[in-house]
Every structure is written in C-alpha cells, then in structure tokens.
Structure 1
Amino acid sequence: MPVHDVQATPVDPPLDCRACPRLVEFREGLQAEHPEWFNAPVPSFTSPNPRLLVIGLAPGMRGANATGRPFTGDYAGDLLYKTMLDFGFAEGAYKARPDDGLVLADALITNAVRCLPPQNKPTGPEIKTCRPYLLSTLAANPSVRAVLALGRIAHETFLTALELKRAQFPFSHNGRHELPGTDLVLFDSYHCSRYNTNTGRLTEDMFRDVFTSIRQHIP
C-alpha cells in the first residue's frame, strides 16, 4: 500500500467539493436545471466489514448523480444489483431508487471519480484528484479481500492508486490478478453499461462468470 494520510482524507468528498473546476461547473448547471437531483459527489455504498470492493468509473447522469447512490437509477445498476443479489452480495429488492430498502452484504461500491463528468469522461487530472478518497475508502475497510474493477479505467486507476505497474496486470474481462504487497485479488469485468450489453460486448452470462470467480475467492 502506498503511504497515505488516512486522517487527512475522509472516505467521501464533501458534498460541496470544489476540487475540479470543470466538474463543479457541470454540477452547478445541473443543479439549476434539475434541482430535485442529488447533484453532488456520490458517497460510497457499503455494508459492515465488506470483503468485496466494486469500483466503477464515475456516477451516471440519470443514475447516481440523480439518486445519490452508486449505480442506482440507470441500466448499469439494473444488471449490477441483480447479479449481486443472485450471488448473495446484496439483500432485499432493487427498485432503482435509494429508498428501496436494498442493502449490501459483504460488499462496498464506489467510483474512481465521485462527481459526474461531462460525456461520462473524467480527465486524468480529475481522476488523480479523487484518488485520495479511493485510498481512504480502502484503508477504512481492511476487511476487503477482492476488488472488482468495472472497465479498464477503473482497473488502471486502482493499480495506479496502489503504485503498481499497470503493464504487469493487463486488463481483460474475467481477469484475475493477485496484487503483491497486499491481501487483495483484483478481478476485471467489462463495464455493465447499456452500451456494452446492447452491443454484445458484455452479456449477463459473462458478467455472472466474473461473480462466480469472485465467489470462489470469497466463499
């Protein structure tokens, strides 16, 4: 693990975080247009003592940015939570809203970038600025043993945060990487976005294959 001052960085940014000017400008425009939306850095969603950490890229506009809960309100959440329920990493019923009563079981969900970026594309500096929150989230949850990166950018961001060479751990769907110097195993999946599923890049069976691998690691 890289040296990181956990006490200096909370696990979630403040709701009025102004660290990334481009994201703040975009957020403030949406606050005026959709005042009923959450429109703020989205906090992580967790259970006590999680062993699985799921990392996405950033909130979706009509998903987490609107609802305030990761992967809630858009298609990516439909597939993610259905699969997590099937594999015992969530309990209750997912109804695409934060008050649906769904709870996680042995799991934690966060994003590499906590604010909505234009076109769902954060810049390198924005990813770097949010990295301390990812490290604090990991440090605050020493029970984590498996990490699921949803997409190449989440995969590379996590490796960079741990100061590991990305070339030694190439991204591949259903890839599995034991990370030296840690107790962690990194699993990879194509992102569960509507685009990936509509184009056939990711099928439900392919996504379930990843969770089957995770369950073999976390009984």
Structure 2
Amino acid sequence: MGADVDLVVPVKTLRRAKTRLVGARLDRPALALAFAVDTIAAALPTVRRVVAVTSDPSVVAELRALGVESIPGPEGLNESLRHGFDVLRSRDPASAIGALQADLPALRTAELAAALAAARGRSFCPDRQGTGTTLLLSAPGGDLAPAFGPGSAAAHSTSGATPLLGPWPSLRHDVDTADDLRLAADLGLGPRTAAAVTPVGG
C-alpha cells in the first residue's frame, strides 16, 4: 500500500479532547492539538493525502499550515470516520483508505510506512494493550467499516480485518492518560508535543 493510501484523521474539538489526561501541569487542549499535529506530520511523508475531520478552528488553522485539508463532520468517532471515508472514496473509487487516530505523539514515519507496506487487504493495528485500534485500513476500493470504541481490536478482527503486528511501537502507542504520555516520552515525542509538555514528573 504505502503511497497509494489516503488517511482520514478525526480530531475532536479541543475543549472536549483528552478528558482522561489530567495533571497539575497538563494543558489538555494544547496537548491534544500537539498530538494531532505531530501525528499528522509524521504520517504525511508516507501516504498520498491526509484529510482531517474536525470543526475546531484552531485545529483547522494549524493543519492548514501543514497543507492538510480539514472537513467538518458529525459528532461521534465512527460517524466522523465514515464521513471522511465517503469523501475520500468519492475522489478515488479504487484507493486504500486508512483511519488513523490523532493521539500518537511519538509516531515515527518509518514505522507507519512499515505497517502500511505489510498490510494485505483490510487490516488494523492494535494499540499497545491489544484491545484498542490505532490504525484501520480498507482494502483498495473496499469499505473501511470502522468499529472504534471499547474492544475495537476484537471488533475489527471479528469483522474480517487482519491484525498488523510488527516492530512499530510508536504506531501502537496512543495517549489517553498521563501514564501513557510518560511512556510515549520514553519512545521520543514529536517536536510539537515535546514543546508543549512540562517535563513529566518534573
């Protein structure tokens, strides 16, 4: 797949984002924006295009500076992904389309590229706990059929998607809590997140 993949990335309104990310010196909206910027910047070199589904003007402005298109979408993660998928599918009926979570601040371009190269048909990458999903890929010309939420890894597997299990820890490491952020820092945060984070534990 690789360069023939189009990605849809849902980004919540910043004031509603990362409600489990709590800490005396953590600015949730600023970190959520930094996560999205670093995630998308890491993904851009290895895919054909990225479309973000968001209605937050701060996110739209930041992504415009990266040359990334933003489109408004409905509430709800799966609904937003279906909307983004429909937009991308209308532009290319034969493409492979991926859904990438926006909270992968340690994402490495090479690791995403390796996962995309390993994909055969509809596939998904489970998170580090093995229960959630960080990346879901359609087959070329196929449906995405997102089932994100609790237990999404099992849901995607049951629906016929093949798990992508390989040496790409940064792709599997989404951040919901302060502990997740500490572990992501061990992998190496993207520049925007690193600048936004007060040294963890400091």
TM-score, with length taken from structure 2: 0.36
Q: Normalized per residue, which structure has more helix?
A: 2
TM-score, with length taken from structure 1: 0.34
